[in-house]
Amino acid sequence: MKPTDAQLARQVRVSKMLGLGFILTIVPMVGLGSLAALFIGLKAKSIIQESRNEIAGIRMAWWCIIAGAVGVIVFPLLFLWAFGATIHL
């Protein structure tokens, strides 16, 4: 079955979102890129699931979610370590 114009538009939108999310997971931006990638991945995953997986990109969405979450967790720890702060648990 041929996709409709609306489906193609949603696919293009999700692909652009995920492309940006992927770039943000690679380029260090003081942790903000990771946070943005996390939210982009979550939004794209939601759109893909709403389409009943007719829109492609679920693996890239998961990449953005996981890499973004890791960046959000790791960056503050690296920042504290780099500037000599101690973490008391």
Q: d(Cα 76, Cα 34) in Å, to the nearest integer?
A: 11
Quick one: average pLDDT of 43-69? 95
The residues near 42 (Cβ < 8 Å, ≥ 6 apart) are 61, 65
**d(Cα 77, Cα 71) in Å, to the nearest integer?**
10
So what's the pLDDT on residue 80?
A: 81
Look at residue 66 and tell me whether its pLDDT is greater than 70. Answer: yes
Mean pLDDT estimate for the chain: 89
Q: Average of pLDDT values for 58-65?
A: 97
pLDDT-derived band at 88 (thresholds 50, 70, 90) equals: low
Q: Is the pLDDT of residue 40 over 60?
A: yes
Asked whether the predicted pLDDT for residue 10 surpasses 80, the reply is yes
pLDDT higher than 70, residue 87: no
What angle do the packed helices 5-26 and 58-82 form, to 10 degrees?
20
- Per the CB < 8 A criterion, the answer to whether 18 and 45 are in contact is no
**pLDDT (0 to 100) of residue 37:** 95
